[in-house]
A and B are shown apart, each in its own frame.
Chain A
Amino acid sequence: MRSIIYLCIGIFFGIVLFKSEAASWFRIYEMFQFGSFHMYGIIGSAVGLGIVVTQFIKRYKVKSFYGDNITILPKDKSFKRYMYGGIIFGLGWALAGACPGPMFVLLGAGYLPIFIVIISAILGTFLYGVLKAKLPH
């Protein structure tokens, strides 16, 4: 039953990403050209409402649908890994025009070359795992 819920959340997310055009290479390019408010509106309104939802859940210790406590693990304090990692991610995001969510959406939408991007992203993740100890964190 829970498996079906996760699958349905994913299906809903995929539909929203495709229909919002957030999965379009063109919209990402336009965003970095400051050509339209569209992407900023999507991210801004998602974060604005996300803050309300997240802070409400934390403040009032809302229980999950299954009655468990909801814990949101904070990220470790650091600067380098987030800045360096973020810049590397941003370079790829703009070039491929897709971040990890939209990659899966585009595969489903039938853009076969995105498969190359997904395999490469898995390879990039593997490279990070191999080099992790040598990188500044």
Chain B
Amino acid sequence: MNWIYQPWPWYISGPLIALVLFLLLMVGKGFGMSSNLRTMCTLCGAGKTTDFFKFDWKTQRWNLLVALGTIIGGFIAANFLSNDTAVLMNPEVITDLQSKGFIDAGNAYMPDFLFSNEILTDPKGILLLIIGGILVGFGARYAGGCTSGHAISGLSNLQLPSLIAVIGFFIGGLVMIHIIFPLIF
């Protein structure tokens, strides 16, 4: 059972994500985490300003519960199912990141540069997280789904729109890492 405490390899993790898709379909629901962001807007009263948020949030209660479960799952995995959470990346990527100032690359799960509690007093770091978050939320709803809705369940349904969206995800990601990152880090 020791393997549980190690990082899980892709050939275990990928099929388990497919199992999540299967379970959601079999309980009559679908896979789509970013829909919860819309529901949260509605819960905050956004329905008063825009029709897009005028819907009965209770129809999405099930998905909020999945999201709540995801938070609990993160807590369980980080605190009870992991000895060492350092992500062992490709050594060349580690060297590259360290030269950009991510000195904990190869020794941590998340970079301190963006995700340590000290960042809460660093305007540049906060700004980057805010911009990243806004882009994710805006883009996911514009595209009508995120990694779970388009890349996993959409491609599994052999939908052309999802393929277009996933190609878009990768264009955006590659532009950010290869063109914009050298300007900001």
Q: Which residues of A contact B (CB under 8 A)?
A: 2-3, 5-33, 35-51, 53-55, 57, 62, 64-66, 68, 70, 72-79, 81-101, 103-114, 116-130, 132, 135
Contacts and interface: CB of A to CB of B under 8 A. Distances in A.
Given A10-B73, A53-B25, A3 B168 contact: no
B134 A70 contact: no
Contact of B17 (A46, A57, A96, A112): A46
Contact of A90 (B20, B110, B168): B168
Sorted from nearest, which 3 A-B pairs have the closest CB atoms?
A86-B168, A10-B69, A14-B73
9 contacts: A7-B69, A18-B73, A22-B13, A24-B87, A53-B22, A93-B147, A98-B132, A108-B73, A124-B133
Interface class of chain A by DSSP: helix
Interface residues of B, number: 129
Contacts of B131: 92, 95, 120
B14 interface: yes
Contact of A42 (B17, B34, B89, B154): B17
Given A14-B77, A43-B14, A122-B44, A107 B177 contact: no
Contacts of A108: 70-76, 78
